[in-house]
Structure 1
Amino acid sequence: MPSILITAGDPSGDHQAARLITALRARRPDLEFWGPAGPACEQAGARVTANLARLSAIGAFDVLPHLPEARRILLDTQQQASAAPPDLAVLVDCGAFNLRLAPHLKALGIPRLGYFPPGSWSGSLRRAEAVAQAYSAVATPFPQALDAYDKLGLPATLVGHPLVDELADLAAARREVPLDPPVIALLPGSRGHEIRQMLRPMLEAARILRADWPHLRAVVSRAPTAPAKLFDQLLAEAGLEVEVVAGSRAAMAQATAGLIKSGTVTLEAALLGLPHVCLYRVSLLAYVVAWTYVWPKPEFWAMPNVLLGRMAVPQRFQFKVTGPELARTLAPLLTDSPERRQQAADLAEAVERLGGPGATERAADVVLAMLDGA
């Protein structure tokens, strides 16, 4: 029975890895999947050796408490691969883990496919070099890094993004959302440090906007992993009437526009045609460290902007993440304004660059081709 080691280090990666497992098992029921991943992969039929997705975090300081456990999972996976080498390794995103695991697999002669390879969204040559050294080939949803991979001699296949399929029905339904009364989606993220930094200014912006639009509704996305006590405390402090829904898509489905934390969710907003402002804020210590050591600074980090290579979606970072600034920036997107129409056109253009439906099946094609050639 062919064996595939699969890794997924955050909930999003776990979800996409599970979709890939499901597609592969439908075509090759004899395949066995195992490795550190998350509950979605386990539900799809993989033998999950450790819950790597649980350790997901953004920022050096947030991940520090989990380093010993992450190292243990890495060493265990290396030992398991040495004892029973898989026919292929599919390493999903999670560069912090996979770029450390891949050299060990390479030494064992195991082919390594990077799915959602680290940094592929940015097109960074430096990141592409690390990927090229670690992986045998990549299947990427983003076109930005293809030139870099080609220069480095790394076989790369542009498969498109699975979200195109996932959100097709919701995108069609969202076209019927009226402009009046305005509804704003507040998406502060799913992790404690994100909610702590961004929910309060989002709620303040909603309060300011309600002065001009008394019937404005604010819909707050509450992820299943969001710390309940912190979330409830911030809502109580705001004293603002809001509607809390489970998950970002439930909020975006009914919204006129949104205040959205940076990340994959801005790509979902683009696919849904939802005009929005993208924001991110970290602790002061994390900001000082990042400003000192992270270079070059990315100009674009909202995913639609990255895809287009221009500022289509307003970005607000750190000291500009305030209630008044967010309210001022979002206000034009709540009416049939030139700003709203322009962003809608830009989002549609960004979506075109993600490719058509069938991304997961195309990724499965790459996996099977590598498996047959192993």
Structure 2
Amino acid sequence: MKYYIIAGEASGDLHASNLMKAILHKDQNTEFRFWGGDLMAKVASQKPVKHYKDLAFMGFLEVAMNLRTILKNIKICKEDIKKYQPDVLILIDYPGFNLRIAEYAKSLGIKVVYYISPQLWAWKEGRVETIKKYVDEMLVILPFEQDFYKKHHVNAHFVGHPLLDAISDLAPIDAENFKKENGLNDKEIIALLPGSRKQEVEKMLDLMLSVRSYFKDYQFVIAGAPSLTKDFYEKFVDDDVHFVSNKTYDLLRSSRAALVTSGTATLETALLNIPEIVCYRSSQISYEIAKRVVKNIKYISLVNLIMDKEVVKELIQKELNTENLVTELNSILDGEKRNEMLNNFELLREKLGGKGASEHAAEIIVNTK
């Protein structure tokens, strides 16, 4: 069958690439065409129609400023789907774009599968009606999402979380070897995951590194984003602040603790069993808008949302400051809070259902009639 896949960001590229591998195992006559990234390109042995780096506009202001580009990309995508005529359209999260494409594909009689639900339970719940009309199969990766859709009379399949697939396949790592191979010193590591966009990274790194004088027995190591060059990070690097690129999982597994900007990375860090502090700060305008449109949500990190309690500390806006970072980081480097967090991470993995999300999703997609 012919599959057209749309992933609009780095995490979507990862999950879509694993899904593509699973589809290839189940459908010997597979053809792919896709919007995504390098991981998908490696599986398909071809370039994406559009790379996610050209699509990823985050935040209300950034989307508004780039609306013309977004609308142009939607038009290109529609024309390309009509020309390609896939048997199945697979949408990976990225709702602002993908729900428009779902409606168009349905008008052409193409089967539409949504893998990794938009966070409609947090905001824009009205989009459920769009999904009812234009999506044939909804595949969700968070256990509470199945109940959310059931409430709205949508039959959603919980397939498990694909991050467990990616993490369970990792080979064991030796922290001392990792340090030597990457030019790090012998001190224990505190990993810094400041995000992926230039302005966000600069803001978050300044805040994260403000604690360094309080932790002289540790070295801080920045996880570089694929979208940013090594030169960009040089101004932050010195004897006890280092940088590694494209090795985030290995860095985390070699670390004592991590400071992580809110997003998928907070869940990845927890699943790798590394105690963390979740950090979030946006422009005050974006934050005030978000507060008014996000409803009935007590937490911003996926870890806390899934567990429905505060497992990891969230420092948001003004709470994200040097004093609070020092206090919380001290509490997870050693002691009772660290042990409690690690115990909760074990329960988190159990809640997410274990390995096999990509295989379960592929089985449903290949058998879509």
Same fold (TM over 0.5): yes
Alignment correspondent of 2:218: 216
Q: Distance in 2 between matches of 1:193 and 1:227?
A: 14
Counterpart in the other structure of 1:244: 243
**CA offset digits 1:194-220 (Å, max 9, x no partner):** 212211110012222x2xxx3222222
Pick one of 191, 196, 200 that aligns with 2:202.
196
Match 2:365 to one of 364, 367, 370: 367
Whole-angstrom CA distance in 1 between matches of 2:272 and 2:254: 11
Question: Residue 24 of structure 1: CA displacement?
Answer: 1.2
Code of the aligned partner of 1:328: T
SS in 2 for 1:340: helix
Find the aligned partners of 1:107 and 1:23 in 2 and give their Cα distance. Answer: 28
1:148 is aligned to 2:148: yes
Amino acid at match of 1:103: E
1:3–1:125 distance in 2 versus 1, CA, 3 Å: same
Kindly state the Cα deviation for residue 37 of structure 1 after the two structures are TM-superposed: 2.4
Checking the alignment, whether the CA contact within 8 Å between 2:331 and 2:338 is kept in structure 1 is yes
In the alignment, structure 1 segments of 5+ residues that lack a partner are none
Distance 1:357 1:288, change over 3 A: closer
Structure 2 counterpart of 1:25: 24
* 1:104 and 2:110 correspond: no
> What amino acid is the match of 1:105?
A
Q: What CA RMSD, in Å, does the superposition of the two structures yield over aligned residues?
A: 2.6
Bigger CA drift: 72-81 or 188-197? 72-81
Q: Provide structure 2 residue ranges, at least 5 long, that are not aligned to the other structure.
A: 179-185
- Which residue of the partner structure matches residue 268 of structure 2? 268
Once the two structures are aligned, what percentage of the paired residues are identical?
28
TM-aligned CA deviation for residue 279 of structure 1: 0.9
Structure 1 residues 48 and 224, CA gap change in structure 2 (3 angstroms): closer
Structure 2 counterpart of 1:340: 338
Q: Which amino acid aligns with 1:251?
A: L
Equivalent position SS for 1:119: coil
Q: 2: distance between equivalents of 1:319 and 1:240?
A: 29
Q: Secondary structure, in 3 states, of the residue corresponding to 2:48?
A: strand
1:225–1:216 distance in 2 versus 1, CA, 3 Å: same
Question: How many residue pairs were aligned?
Answer: 359
**Counterparts in 2 of 1:72 and 1:289: CA distance versus 1, 3 Å:** same
Change (3 A) 1:366 1:259: same
2:280 alignment partner in structure 1: 280
More displaced stretch, 295-304 vs 360-369: 295-304
3-state SS of the aligned residue for 2:315?
Answer: strand
**Partners of 1:181 and 1:228 in 2: CA distance:** 23
Of residues 350, 353, 359, the one that matches 1:355 is 353
Higher mean displacement: 14-23 or 242-251: 242-251
Residue in structure 2 matched with residue 301 of structure 1 by the alignment: 300
Aligned pairs (5 A) from 1:2-151: 2-45=1-44, 48-119=48-119, 125-126=125-126, 128-151=128-151
